[in-house]
Structure 1
Amino acid sequence: MNDATPAPLKIGPNDILRFLLELFAFVSLAVWGFVDFELPWPGVLVGIVAPLAAIALWGLFLSPKAVFSIDAFGKALIEIAIFSAVAIAWWLMGQPVVAIVVAVVAAVSGIINGRKQLS
């Protein structure tokens, strides 16, 4: 008899952390647009376009079901760009501690994920 049950999905602590970092990045970019720019324009525009651009990049290149398949180094560059933008956004909003914490946590999580992908 053919058993077509898929193998159980292995989700580790770093996978959960990376998901939370993604959500935090998207929300942070929206907050940055609304807080750091004059409302209604360009604040609304930046507050909507910045997270949408990050979501599009993540969905196209970094998600588990990415549209485009690129190597681990290309993925790392896109991830660095997104999280650098988030850290810079927090810095520009006058929150250097949050900026540094986000940058360090994202870097460590990215390194752990990159090592896993390359092994």
Structure 2
Amino acid sequence: MSQDPASVPGVDRPNITALDIVRSVVLIVAVGTLALWGFALWPFPWNVVIGIGAPLVVILVWALFLSPRPVLRLHPFLRVVVELLIYVGVTIAWWLMDQPIIGTAFAVVAVGAGVVSGRRRIR
């Protein structure tokens, strides 16, 4: 019989919470929104550049500063500023696509999840 993977000595498994799942979904929606915004709102040569470039920039910024194991560690307040800049950009993208209700809903969920996560991290 095999052992339960959670009880293997020397293996450190992170506890995944519902908040982690919500924050992951927020990131996926942010990347998808920026791709949609780039491909839908810009004229031909620029729609490809922005539709691919904007999501790549967000993924790069997330990997550098916001991931669970970031490449560059920031002060917690700077980390919040970077995260809020991404959320503001996505909210503005929804508003530019004439979807202010979706943009506002995204902002409320993203900022709410960020606030709860930030409070847990500070403790």
Count of aligned pairs:
116
Q: Shift of the alpha carbon at 1:6?
A: 2.5
Q: Which segment is superposed worse, 75-84 or 6-15?
A: 6-15
What is the aligned-residue RMSD (CA, Å)? Answer: 1.1
Q: Give the structure with higher Rg (CA).
A: 2
- Counterpart of 1:48 in structure 2 is 52
1:69 maps to 2:108:
no
Q: Which runs of 5+ in 2 are unaligned?
A: 1-7
Alignment of 1:1-119 (within 5 A): 4-39=9-44, 41-119=45-123
Q: Which runs of 5+ in 1 are unaligned?
A: none
Amino acid corresponding to residue 40 of structure 2 in structure 1: V
Identical counterparts, % of pairs: 37
Q: Distance in 2 between matches of 1:62 and 1:4?
A: 29
Q: Distance in 1 between matches of 2:70 and 2:14?
A: 17
* TM-score between both structures, scaled by the size of structure 1: 0.93
Q: What per-residue deviation string (whole Å, max 9, x for no partner) do you get for residues 76-101 of structure 1?
A: 01100001100100000011111000
Amino acid corresponding to residue 31 of structure 2 in structure 1: F
* TM-score between both structures, scaled by the size of structure 2: 0.90
Runs of 4+ residues over 3 Å off in structure 1: none
